[in-house]
Chains A and B, each alone.
Chain A
Amino acid sequence: MSWQWVVPLVSVLYLGLLFAVAYYADRRASMGRSLVNNPTIYTLSIAVYCTSWTYYGSVGRAAETGVGFLPIFLGPTLMAALWWFLLGKIIAISKANHITSIADFISSRYGKSPMLGRMVTLFVVIGIMPYIALQLKAVAVSLDVLVHRLDAGLAMKGPTAPWDDTALYVAMILALFSILFGTRHLDASERHEGMVTAIAFESIVKLGAFLLVGVFVTFGLFDGFGDLFARALADPQVRRLMTFDAMPGGYVSWFSMTLVAMMAVLFLPRQFQVLVVENVNPAHIRQAAWLFPLYLLAFNLFVLPIALAGRLIFAGQGMDPDTFVLTLPIHGDQVWLALLVYVGGLSAATSMVIVEAIAMSTMVSNDLILPLLLRFRAAFQEDLSGMILTIRRGIIIGLMLLGYLYFRLIGESHTLVSIGIISFAAVAQFAPAILIGIYWQGVSRRGAMGGLMAGFLVWSHTLLFASFAKSGWIAESVLTHGPWGISWLKPQALFGLTVFDPITHSVFWSLLANIGVLVLISLFDRQTAVEQIQALNFVNVFDKGARGGNEYLWSGFVSVADLKKLVSRFIGPVQAESDFANYLQHRLLKLDERTQAPAHLVAFAEKRLTGAIGSASARVMVSSVVKGEELDLHGVMRILDETSQVIEYSQRLELKSRQLEAATRQLQEANERLQELDRLKDEFISTVSHELRTPLTSIRAFSEILRDNEEMEPADRRRFTEIIIKEAERLTRLVNQILDLARIESGKMEWHVAQVDLVEIVRDAMDSTHQLFENKSVRLNYQAPDHPVLLQADRDKIMQVVINLLSNAVKFCAPETGVVEILGREGVDGVGVTVLDNGPGIPREDLEKVFEKFHQVHQARDETQGVPLGTGLGLTICQRIIDRHQGRIWVESELGRGAAFTFLLPRDLQIQ
């Protein structure tokens, strides 16, 4: 079997399978059953972080530095803990502003500056080139190792011609697949569901393959971890890998690499692509925050064992440690396992290259090429989406060629990790502009630009040129004596700083320059209106009240039709038509095609375009159709500050003062009510004592008369004794009624509500008051209905009311001539009873007072004895009872014509 044919064939088959996965996912997405809306797929797609570097390079680094490979994975683990709010904020900002790349993010934050977007893109291209070269090198080397078996790993081959170089073909095949994945059609949101699914699939393949080789090495070539580590400990060369002493640069280097990796996991273009742009639901972070570190942990479990095994087995053979993952299975005669490992490595490399190429092609086309093209040929009328796709395809091929070029220049003389870390340090330069920019509104465009520029200059001097010099591409004397012999400019000892390793040295100087320049310029800079608005929108993305202001940016003239035409040139007429219709419908607007577009519609169109061609280009395009000027700076500032902040604060203040006023009013009312209650209580007590004293006084007076006049006529004695008894009875009644009233008012009275017949109650009441009528010879008329009148009530209490009304009526009627009538009432509003008498009646001014406590109508006195007839509580109790039954009681009367007391009760009492 010829491996020379099998291995490339397997590679192409694997890539075909990958494409099938992507195709299937795209199909599912178009049917509305997206696979990507899933936190596990999201997490696996983030694992695009693990590239050939992880797959081959980690083992290589571990074989030389022990645990020195770990910061690259511990950094992201630490960072994942911060994702919930940090990444959450970046995602929220990106969604709100239709941001599709890291260059777009930075340029949008700093006033949609095309210049800044261009700068970031350029830096990304330069910075990521080594990283792509690393993947090409890894795939090429693994292919060579597999094809030539063990030989290629042993010795470096001499330089080969480009057409004979595996890496070139690898680069071209990867470019082809990136084009297939990423640029089949132009999507305004720049989301690629098929690609994400394929990446997630690759993450499983590479992890599975790596774990397999780990298990094989640990348990196949050795007798488990114990055996492997014991033999490593016995070897004096390998022994030092067990502690920190093997780590070059020591703890400082460890720390700086962790820091750089923390930034890289967020800001590498491909990480930004999968974390932010391809994110479907920010809630997926919840799972990714722990599952992703777990994935990294699983990946790193066997790195050190494989490295130690390689060092032990290939001791003294000069085998390249970067190939241990592949050469160990070959050494163990597991050729098929080796082939599987090769596929795993291929998946690690392809996933990185595909996502990176897509992310970078979006950036380069949106921020570098389109703005230039559109500036010069703004009058394009045809559909541009086809041209944009062609541009992006060209960019992908160009990027791969650049990567290949870098590989040819320096690839052979560097290990995988030392190449990759150069890219990491480059990407870390974006961190200040982004992280400080989303929490501090004061960072200005010039500040961010200056910071980036300074950081990149230092980075390229201290790392990029140093790597060129190391590989002999430029004179090596630059490293030892400094450029042009200027010793304080030595790339790896800037200003004579020699205490750090090269990476820490570069990270220290570049981030110092970056942050320093950014902060200093920002402190002394004035931001333009657009910058202020964007800064406000970014920093306060979660604060709905403080956002906005976008629509104030445009004050020129453009018709709705022109605006729509502009948008449709980039996203297609059908999409543009439906987007505009949706927007207008959402805002409840009806606009004629020829009318002038309102400012917010222009802002909407700009946002829509931002999704398709990036914020800087979108701004250029919109300004090309909007006639007139942007609103002047001071106007925007005033509107913005006043509308978004001052108004919000004053609204809050108004709300607070309204709440305070309401609370004060309630307190006043409560206070008044308390005072009223207090007054009533005092009055009640004094009235009660007065009322109690009256009968007591008369009892005492008559008792004294009886005691002192022993020779009193028996008739008088008898009369006086009767008065005493009557007064005592009245006292008892009074006390009973006070107790009743107190019970009712305090809510302690027991109510026994049941179905009762009102006719029967009235009859019973008449029976028990019969004697009163007889004594005074008052006539009682009652026409009872012939059917029972049923209602829900407390029988005894209602009876009490009727008896009270009857006895009142008797009291006020003249003897002999008095007539009392009882009328039953039935109506829609309830049932009730009216008691009429022909007594003296009640004065008009007393009508409302008769129900008050202790109110006595003055005439109501027993003429014979001059004592009050009632207690003054009976009607009060009646009213309370009727109130409790949700009914009502009232009196109608005219002086001299008697009185009519009526109560009405609902038939169905709602029991409380």
Chain B
Amino acid sequence: MAYIRAFGSYLPARRVDNHELAPLVGATPEWVLSVSGIEERRYAAEDDTVASLGLAAAQDCLANAGIEAGQLGMLLVSSGSAARFAPGPASQIAAALGLTSTPALDIPVASAGSLIALALANDLAPRFGPVLVIGAEIMSRRIERAPEGRDTAILFGDGAGAALVDPNSGFARIADSLLATDGTAAEILKIERDRIFMDGRSVILQAYRKMPRAVTDLLARNALTPADVGVFLLHQANLNLIERVAAGLKVPLDRFFVNIARYGNTSSASLLIAAAEWHGSLAAPLAAPIVFSAFGAGLHWGALLALPA
């Protein structure tokens, strides 16, 4: 068992709104907004890397937690868009933080990668010490800004988020998690030869079924219902999907923290970017359960429950 102690995030400065993007993909800004809920997304600078974005989010998280990198017991870095497969960004981020013997592991999973890392961190923190979880993505280099790439180009943006999972203290105690994988549908969402491919209709069908079920199953085994949850922090994939999940759980949408309009879908970074913004906006101490949930390429999906500490 461990605690969530702090979050951090980093968003590149360049904003790409629908007026800039839509003509490139043969669409209108209004259509992009209606099918995604996205108004703008951020794109990394040319000299940015997944590791440099992840490092910035890591530093923000460490500052928010008030600890030095040297106190970390482990780094877990999720990314589905890193330029290099091996070694991935984890060791680069660790090195940039001045760590030369702290284990730093990659979780090369888009979308749900940071949820998986959070769940693993809960089990690893008691053994290794504080675990810094990072989700970092440069999805703008995995899309095609052309009519043939329209369905993915309109969705994705770049950014990084981080969370510190501490074995001893934090504002929320990770109580339970549920992770699942179904590789029989792996072909409907994949990054291959530097490009993302998505059968969006099938992805929505699968996500709409699997995410609410993971959440309700996780809550039920902890004697909770969706109505007991104070905030739902979901992978920011598509506003319409989040609305459907809310409806499926019979929970008002205002219980879901949503920032997709400003950043688009930043794949595995989105969960932690949303969490960082939500936590930064808290006006009072946490008083009700938090549910994290994500779904994506793999297919990997799941949910994580954290309770007020």
A pairs with B: no
Which residue numbers of A lie inside 8 Å of B, CB to CB?
none
Which residue numbers of B lie inside 8 Å of A, CB to CB?
none
